[in-house]
């Protein structure tokens, strides 16, 4: 990687930094400025509000359930498409991208049609006192859907480039499937897997479109932080809305720090290797 030498190159760099500051850093800074505009005491009061605490808990609950499910799904899917050649493999690779191509709002509507009370299956669930839509299970379901490709899409190209020679050698030596995965495959993909977890977490806590459709936006029951921000803003409670936005931004920044740290460590390992 070469260093800039001419004034044109320095101008281009300055322009890029200025645009990044204007479009990214300035809005994030203003979020925290607005959140603390009424003072620290008001910020704490907003955070300790019952609706806010419930929204935080529900947002974290959705992320905590979503991440391990998508990790298992992503690993299994990546293992299948990179180690086996079977009929329908290309179709399966295409189906992985459906959540990318589908609008979150449309995805939420699809879940509402299938599991809502007006559907046959949803009516059966309701008669048996099982409520998925307009409750936290529906929020978790759509969050899993919209985040399902991330881990798989990160692992598949990596596992394809690494090949499976080491796994075949371990199998020849008598290793079990679990031993092969835990001692051979997992060490090779662990940083990519952690990167996928970070990206999945960032999307899970910030999902709005699909969640807004299936949650019903019931304050104190089915409001996640993104939905609470919208309701507080509609109620002209700007400081409270920016407080919720600051909490959501803090989660995103923490996730970004973890992601950046993993990238730096991976680059250091690559240079050392």
Higher pLDDT, 263 or 28: 28
The dihedral of CA 16, 20, 21, 22: what is its sign? positive
The fold of the 40-272 domain, in CATH, is MetI-like fold (1.10.3720)
- The residue extents of the domains of the chain are 40-272
pTM of the model: 0.87
Q: Give the pLDDT confidence score for residue 106 in this predicted structure.
A: 93
Q: Give the pLDDT confidence score for residue 1 in this predicted structure.
A: 63
CB 143 within 8 A of CB 204: yes
The per-residue pLDDT for range 192-240, each reduced to its tens digit, is 898 899 889 989 999 999 999 999 888 888 999 999 999 999 999 999 9
Write the CB contacts of 107 (distance below 8 Å, at least 6 apart in sequence): 99, 142, 145, 146, 209, 210
Buried b (16+ CB within 10 A) or exposed e, 51-64: bbebbbebbbebbe
Q: Give the pLDDT confidence score for residue 273 in this predicted structure.
A: 61
């Amino acid at each position: 990687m070469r260093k800039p030498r001419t004034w044109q190159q320095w101008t281009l760099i300055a322009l890029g930094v200025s645009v990044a500051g204007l479009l990214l850093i300035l809005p994030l800074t203003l979020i925290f400025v607005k959140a603390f505009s009424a003072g620290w005491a008001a910020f704490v009061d907003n955070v300790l509000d019952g609706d806010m605490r419930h929204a935080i808990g529900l947002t974290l609950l959705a992320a905590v359930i979503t991440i391990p499910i998508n990790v298992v799904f992503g690993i299994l899917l990546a293992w299948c498409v990179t180690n086996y050649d079977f009929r329908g493999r290309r179709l399966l690779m295409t189906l992985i991208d459906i959540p990318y191509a589908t609008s979150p709002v449309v995805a939420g509507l699809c879940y509402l049609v299938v599991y809502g009370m007006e559907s046959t299956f949803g009516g059966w669930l309701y008669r048996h006192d099982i409520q998925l839509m307009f409750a936290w299970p529906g929020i978790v379901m759509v969050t899993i859907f919209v985040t399902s490709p991330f881990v798989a899409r990160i692992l598949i190209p990596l596992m394809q480039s690494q090949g499976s020679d080491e796994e075949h050698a371990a199998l020849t030596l008598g290793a079990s499937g679990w031993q092969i995965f835990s001692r051979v495959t997992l060490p090779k993909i662990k940083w990519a897997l952690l990167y996928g977890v970070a990206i999945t977490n960032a999307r899970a806590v910030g999902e709005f479109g699909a969640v807004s459709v299936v949650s019903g936006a019931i304050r104190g029951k089915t409001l996640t932080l993104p939905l609470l921000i919208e309701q507080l803003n509609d109620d002209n409670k700007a400081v409270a809305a920016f407080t919720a936005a600051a909490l959501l931004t803090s989660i995103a920044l923490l996730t970004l720090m973890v992601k950046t740290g993993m990238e730096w460590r991976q680059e250091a390992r690559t240079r050392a290797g």
